[in-house]
Chain A
Amino acid sequence: MSTNNRKPTETPPPRPMGPRGGRGSGPGGLGAGVGDKAKNFAKSSRRLLGYMANHKITLIFVILTAIAATVFSIVAPKVMGQATTKIYEGIMGQGGLDYAGIANILVTLTILYIFGSVFTFIQGFVMAGVSQRIIYDMREQINAKMSKLPMKFYDGMPHGELLSRVTNDIDSISNTLQQSITQVITAVVTIVGVIVMMLSINAWLTLITAITLPLSFVIVRKIVKKSQGYFIAQQKELGQMNGHVEEVFSGHNIVKAYGLEDKVTNEFDAINAKLYESAWKSQFISGIMMPLMQLVGNIGYVGVCVVGGIFVTNGQITIGDMQAFIQYVRNFTRPIADTANIANILQSTIASAERVFEILDQEEELPDKADAVEIDVPKGDVDFAGVGFSYDPKTPLINNMNIQAHAGDTIAIVGPTGAGKTTIVNLLMRFYEIQGGSISIDGIDIRDLKRTNLRKMFGMVLQDTWLFNGTIKENIAYGINNATDEDIINAAKTAHADHFIRTLPHGYDTVINEEANNLSLGQNQLLTIARAILANPDVLILDEATSNVDTRTELLIQKAMNELMKGRTSFVIAHRLSTIKDADVILVMNHGTLIEQGTHEQLLEQNGFYADLYNSQFTGKKSKIA
């Protein structure tokens, strides 16, 4: 099927930054050389901010508490310095220690600390609530959207990709909301606050510390840039590794049967060796960020000790001021690393958000018409009139297809694999929209029907059986909301699944595991047949349904199917001659198009593709078999 509809059909042209675009452009400027880049940073970040708008008041509260907490922690060192000064003066001077004064200062300090911690806690606690709420909403939006997306979208996007967007990308947004936002606020307030406090103590010492600022920034940027390259390489090789392992393990029997162990192991070793190189390098480079930042911090520390020491000797500042300065220098490194890194975090978060938004922006299935009707008692006349369809506009597939099936008819669809037999199913069920002509049931265009009503009329047994992680009972009852145990067992009996179900350890309550590999393919198929039987549809679609079921069971299923098909219009994608020969209409498909149509006899008379197909079966049988 079409694979090139991955990109959103409507990519809005990049707009110049709006009035609020300036917000995004600031950190965006720092984010140069980042691998995971947002396509439209300003627009997407505005949209992400939109999610927070609902929690505006709470968020303002969070910001205020974050600022408060930071302010308390910034003031504290200076107060503590005063205590040290009092002690120092006490022993250097004559009057002895001013215990009352010291006690006073320490009480103030304690109160500051308590407030600081309380505010930090409130901030974290409230933010946890807000961010989880936002994340929940986002997942829920995707969830709701998924019900409305057309099949075309799902056929075009690999499952892994979609899964990753719902889990990894949302996870990364969640982390940013929970931590990074308050981190930035705290960091900015800290840097500004600390500089103010420093200036209030001594301008020269502030200058010494401030010199380290740009130095740290440069170091962080350099390292981030350098490590990014290795991280990208690591990611790429990790992808190759995953691909290789998946392929080799999935094809284990072939690897063994053909003695390919050495070959695949050599390939593995080569990828593993490359992965090792990029992995340890990226880890190392990103790991030296902390030590280097620490070095810058230590240089500032030494500067403060020396110059501060001299100033204290001169009497320009007090010993407590010097102590406070030392703490400020210590508190400086982390917020700088945080802000320097925030550009990257924001970039990748916005890129994640964009991938999520891309899903949310996908074109939805055409909604049911406002005046859509329902057929209460369907007869099962199905009529394709001049139907035109293609998955990809460039390669037309079906032109002017006409099929008339009367209620109760069996329509056999035959043709080589890849001939487009499932296309008919896609159109009948309105998984895809036709581009010309009309398909009608009982004379009503299916586009005028409610989708639920349309699909309720159909029972479908697909070649790819689908069971979910639940009990057998739940799986059979999937089509029906209020099926009794008796109904379920009867359906299973009709599908000849009852016997094997009863031999399972927990019978009907046996849980089908995640990969549905605790049952055989044939058993899976029997269950889906039971499911279709229970649903009691008006029109049946059997998509090569019996090809996985063993021959003996097939006999039994055939009986059940014949029973089921009685009085129902049935579309059967068939391989077996007996089904085909008994069909009221045979549709012969090749290369995606309907090439012949008629009864068995009519088609044999035409002496075309079908006749060829049919005769080859006989010649193949008469001669000796390989």
Chain B
Amino acid sequence: MKKLLRYAGKYKLQFLILVITVSLQVAAQLYLPNLMSDIVNNGIANGDVPYIWQIGGFMLIVAFASTIASVSTSFLASRIAVGLTTGVRAKVFKNVETFSLGEIDKAGGTATLITRTTNDITQVQRFLIMALRMMIMAPIMCIGGIIMAVGKDLFLSQILGIVIVVIALVITVIAKTSMPLFKSMQKKIDKLNLVLRERLTGLRVIRAFNKDVYEHDRFDDANKDLTKTTLTVNRIMSFMMPLVMLGMNIATVLFIWFGATRIDSGILQVGDLMAFIQYAMNIMFSLVMTSMMFIMLPRASASADRIAEILDIETTITDPEMPKRTSENGGYIDFENVTFKYPNAEVPALSNLSFKAGPGEVTAIIGGTGSGKSTIFNLMLRFYDVTSGSIKIDGVDIRELTQKQLRDKIGYVPQRAVLFNGTIKENIAFGDMQAPMEKIENAAVTAQALNFINEKDEKFDSVVSQGGTNISGGQKQRLSIARALTRDASIYLFDDSFSALDFKTEANLRNALREKTAHASVIISGQRVASIMDSDRIIVLNEGEVAGIGTHDELMKTCTVYKEIVASQLSEEELAS
């Protein structure tokens, strides 16, 4: 929580005013009993009715002043809390936007980043508002109340002091015992959610394996566990209010008893005793309110810590201060002894890769899962930086270019097609925001997407829903290819991006792409030998190591790994044809 408060600087003044309005609120709230005691002591005792009216009028003014103060408090509290969290949310988002893939791994993945930017921040906001309204008030109320109480009677104030300490102790003990329970309750809610989510995502498998009973029991266990903890927490909490109330009430009895003796000996007036009791009530109520905050604290501070973690991550991939320039007509790629190791990994994901490629050439990468195919693309796009060696594009090390310079040259189609909320047209135009309609249509034609787009009611203006659920996997891939084509890039990267297409569509797509990318350098990774065997150069990767580089014919002679792959996919006659 503290870490987030460093972003609160801007709200210092507002916070100061809030403290003042809270103080005014407290002062008014405590002044009213004082005025009442004047009515009792001076008005009633002397039978002075006009005095009573006069003080009554004054009390009304105080009451209104108190309301104005507390409305202002609410105003400031909302503005500060919401403003602060809005700012933090923007900081988190913008920081994540600077992240390379390495930092996303470090943060624990996309899902947790999303939760931190949304739910966790809402959690903190809710807590802040409560804290600003209630928690600030408690100490002020205590101090103010005690000053007023001491002003009325020192002896009774000592009793009050003792009672406050006792009640504070009770609250602390209950809070201490229930806090860990609240934390564990949260964990059990998460567990229940997890079990349920898994059950939903794996439903077909569960049914296929006749595991409905097992899943039912798994949920039931989580349910029982959660119910038990919640019950314990609620039962402990049901001690709190009666205990605190009893403490306050017994204190009142004590005040009256000792007050009576004080009044008898003429030290105290009846109105003062009545006022005193009211001060005590005010103080103790604010204590109870604060205790409620402790229930919220563990959740909020856990959220705050998670948010702070993200803000503390700094991106490792930065632009050079003096970026170099490359020649205009590009497409030359030069890998020199490139090795990449994930942080903390023992073995490199890619070792000693060297190759050169130029415009008009197709370079294919083939190899097993985890053999480092995607790594090559990630390195070229500078989602990660190489551990050693260098990648040059058009003769310049990519670390000496700005990320924008570099990525503007590249049309990239990822393994998992990603679309954004918006129309089909907008999604394709992400490659080139200024692209005219004709260009978008051309890209769609090349990507074999025109047919299904035209089948939709709104054609290019059809809306892709969030997460693209209204579009099939193959259609998504084609749209993401069209998006890359609007770039007019000198380098195209296709990371296994035809996997969801059938043979026919893939073949048509390849034919169309060949024309479109004739002037560019193309790197393509894939699983099907048939799709890549005619490339100018095939890089065979095996567990991060280069097993061979060459044309299909060369590799068939020299590379055993390649031969195995080919044998697994193509029959003799197909090879012969």
Which of these, B45, B212, B508, contacts A147 with CB under 8 Å?
Answer: B212
Tell me which residues from 326 to 376 in chain A have a Cβ below 8 Å from any Cβ of chain B: 326, 330
* Given A113-B253, A291-B71, A302-B63, CB of A313 within 8 Å of CB of B43: yes
The winner among A88, A123, A260, A464 for most chain B CB atoms within 10 A is: A88
> At the interface, yes or no: B287 with Cβ under 8 Å from chain A?
no
Interface string of B79-118 (1 = CB under 8 A from A): 1011100100110011011111100100001110110011
The reply to whether A554 and B535 form a contact with Cβ atoms under 8 Å apart is: no
In the complex where A129-B231, A256-B407, A550-B368 touch, is A625 in contact with B510 (Cβ < 8 A)?
Answer: yes
**What is the CB-to-nearest-CB distance from B263 to chain A, in angstroms, rounded to a whole number?**
6
Partner of A626, one of B278, B368, B510: B510
How far does the Cβ of A527 sit from chain B's closest Cβ, in whole Å? 12
- B56, B201, B242, B529: the one contacting A120 at CB < 8 Å is B242
Residues of B within 8 A of A299 (CB): 60, 63
Q: Is A482 an interface residue (CB 8 A)?
A: no
Residue contact A154 to B507, C-beta cutoff 8 Å: no
Q: Decide yes or no whether A16 CB sits under 8 A from chain B.
A: no
Contacting residues, chain A, for B278 (C-beta < 8 A)? 326
Does A417 make an interface contact (CB < 8 A)? Answer: yes
Task: List residues of chain A with CB within 8 A of the CB of B567.
Answer: 555
Q: Which of B210, B219, B260 contacts A87 (CB 8 A)?
A: B260
- Cβ contacts under 8 Å, A99 to chain B: 260
B532 near A140: Cβ-Cβ < 8 Å: no
Q: Chain A: which residue is nearest B103 at the CB level?
A: A252
Interface stretch of the complex, out of A192-200, A435-443, A451-459 = A451-459
B44 lies within 8 A of A284 (CB)? no
Given contacts A178-B234, A247-B467, A618-B577, whether A84 and B256 have CB atoms under 8 Å apart is yes
Provide the B178-221 mask, 1 if CB < 8 A to any CB of A, else 0: 00000000000100111011111111110111111101100110
The interface size bin for chain B is 35 or more
Q: Is the interface of A mostly helix, strand, loop or mixed?
A: helix
Contact yes or no, B89 A272, CB < 8 A:
yes
A290 contact set on B, CB distance < 8 A: 70, 74
Main secondary structure of the interface of B (DSSP, over half): helix
CB distance from B189 to the nearest CB of A (A): 7
Q: Which residues of A contact B246 (CB under 8 A)?
A: 113-114, 117
Q: Are A554 and B503 CB-contacts (below 8 A) given A91-B263, A132-B231, A455-B208?
A: no
**Docked-complex contact A265 and B257, CB < 8 angstroms:** no
Chain A hits for B337, CB < 8 A: none
CB-based contact A135/B475 at 8 Å = no
Q: How far is the CA of A97 from the CA of B257 in the complex (A)?
A: 11
The chain A residue sitting closest to B487, CB to CB, is A258
Q: Is the CB of B133 within 8 A of A613?
A: no
The contact of B207 among A129, A243, A415, A431, by CB within 8 Å, is A431
Please give the distance in Å from B186's CB to the nearest CB on chain A.
12
Partner of B198, one of A88, A273, A469: A469
Chain B residues with CB below 8 A from A553, complex form: 368-369
Nearest opposing residue in chain A for B213, CB measure: A147
Cβ of A301 within 8 Å of any chain B Cβ, yes or no, is: yes
Known: A272-B90, A417-B472. A264 touches B97 (CB 8 A): yes
Nearest A-chain residue to B48, judged by Cβ: A313
Chain A residue, CB-CB nearest to B191: A469
B63 touches A245 (CB 8 A): no
Contact A245:B114 (CB < 8 A) given known A132-B227, A460-B208, A547-B527: yes
A275 at the interface (CB under 8 A from B): yes
Interchain CB contact under 8 A, A626 and B517: yes
**Chain A residue at minimum C-beta to C-beta distance from B282:** A330
Is the CB–CB distance between B125 and A121 below 8 Å? no
Question: Is A167 in contact with B189, judged by CB distance below 8 angstroms?
Answer: yes
A144 with B571, Cβ < 8 A, contacts A118-B242, A242-B118, A416-B505 known: no
A417 touches B110 (CB 8 A): no
A578 touches B569 (CB 8 A): yes
CA distance A523 to B475 in the complex (A): 26
Contact with B along A597-624 (1 / 0, CB 8 A): 0000000000000001110111111111
Question: B140-190: which have CB < 8 Å to A?
Answer: 189
Nearest Cβ in chain B — how far from A236, in angstroms?
14
For A245, the chain B residues whose CB sits under 8 A away are 93, 114, 117-118
B194 near A261: Cβ-Cβ < 8 Å: no
Closest to B373 in A: A550
Q: Is A96 an interface residue (CB 8 A)?
A: yes
Which residues of A sit under 8 angstroms from B381, Cβ to Cβ? 253, 256-257
Q: Interface digits, B523-561 against A, CB 8 Å rule (1 contact, 0 not)?
A: 010011111111100000010000000000000000001
**Least distance between A121 CB and chain B CB atoms (Å):** 4
Q: Which residue of A lies closest to B514 (CB)?
A: A626
The residue on A at minimum CB distance from B208 is A460
Binds B, one of A38-46, A51-59, A304-312, A398-406: A304-312
The contact of A261 among B39, B78, B97, B204, by CB within 8 Å, is B97
A309 contact from B44, B211, B231, Cβ within 8 A: B44
Q: Is A143 an interface residue (CB 8 A)?
A: yes
Question: CB distance A265 to B565 under 8 Å?
Answer: no
Q: How far is the CA of A607 from the CA of B97 in the complex (A)?
A: 53
Residues of A within 8 A of B419 (CB): 251
A375–B224 Cα distance when bound, in Å, is 37
Would you give the shortest CB distance from A202 to chain B, in whole angstroms? 15
**Does A48 interact with chain B (Cβ within 8 Å)?**
no
Q: What mask results when residues 27 to 41 of chain B are scored 1 for a CB within 8 Å of chain A, else 0? A: 000001001100110
B100 / chain A contacts, CB cutoff of 8 Å: 256
* B250: interface (CB < 8 Å): yes
Report yes or no: B257 in contact with A103, Cβ–Cβ below 8 A.
yes
Bound-complex Cα distance A144 to B220 (A): 9
Shortest A226–chain B CB gap in Å is 14
Query: Which of A6-14, A384-392, A486-494, A514-522 contacts the other chain?
Result: A514-522
Docked Cα-Cα span, A623 to B513, in Å, equals: 13
1/0 per residue, CB under 8 A from A, across B241-254: the answer is 11101100110110
Tell me whether A283 and B231 are in contact in the complex, defined as CB-CB below 8 angstroms, given that A154-B200, A553-B369 are known contacts: no
Question: Which residue of chain B lies nearest to A450 when distances are taken between CB atoms in the complex?
Answer: B210
Q: Does B270 contact A (CB under 8 A)?
A: yes
The residues of B that contact A133 with a CB separation of less than 8 Å are: 227
Assess the B99–A252 pair: CB atoms within 8 A: yes
Q: Which of A272-315 contact B (CB under 8 A)?
A: 272-273, 275-276, 279-281, 283-284, 287-288, 290-292, 294-295, 298-299, 301-303, 305-306, 309-310, 312-313
Cβ distance B173 to chain A, nearest Cβ, rounded Å: 16
Which residues of chain B are within 8 angstroms of A312 by Cβ–Cβ distance? 44
Query: Among the listed B44, B252, B564, which residue makes an inter-chain contact with A552, where contact means beta carbons less than 8 Å apart?
Result: B564
Q: Does B408 contact A (CB under 8 A)?
A: yes
Q: Is B66 an interface residue (CB 8 A)?
A: yes
Query: With A and B bound together, what is the CA distance between A72 and B197 in angstroms?
Result: 48
Contacts A455-B208, A478-B211, A554-B527 given; does A265 touch B94 at CB 8 Å: yes
A276 and B410 contact, CB distance less than 8 A: no
Residue of B nearest to A465 (CB): B205
Residue of B56, B66, B227, B535 near A625 (CB, 8 A) is: B535
A255 at the interface (CB under 8 A from B): yes
Complex interface bits, A501-539 against B, C-beta within 8 A gives 1, otherwise 0: 000000000000011010011110000100000010000
Decide: A429 near B207, CB < 8 A? Known: A143-B223, A554-B527, A617-B530: yes
Q: Given the complex, which residues of A lie within 8 Å of B205, measured CB to CB?
A: 460, 462, 466, 478, 528
A554 to B455, CA, bound (A): 36
Contact: A132 with B404, CB < 8 Å? Answer: no
Contact residues, A126-178 vs B (CB, 8 A): 127-129, 131-133, 135-136, 139-140, 143-144, 146-147, 151, 154, 159, 162-163, 166-167, 174, 178
User: Can you name 25 A-B residue pairings with CB atoms under 8 Å?
Assistant: A84-B273, A106-B253, A118-B242, A143-B223, A147-B215, A154-B203, A254-B412, A256-B100, A259-B407, A280-B81, A280-B82, A287-B74, A295-B63, A301-B36, A301-B63, A309-B44, A460-B208, A469-B194, A520-B369, A549-B369, A552-B367, A555-B565, A576-B528, A612-B504, A623-B534
A163-B197, A246-B466, A578-B569 given; name 5 further pairs at CB < 8 Å: A90-B260, A143-B220, A287-B74, A455-B208, A551-B565
Considering the complex of A and B, which 6 residue pairs feature the smallest CB-CB distances, nearest first?
A620-B507, A124-B238, A522-B369, A555-B568, A306-B56, A417-B474
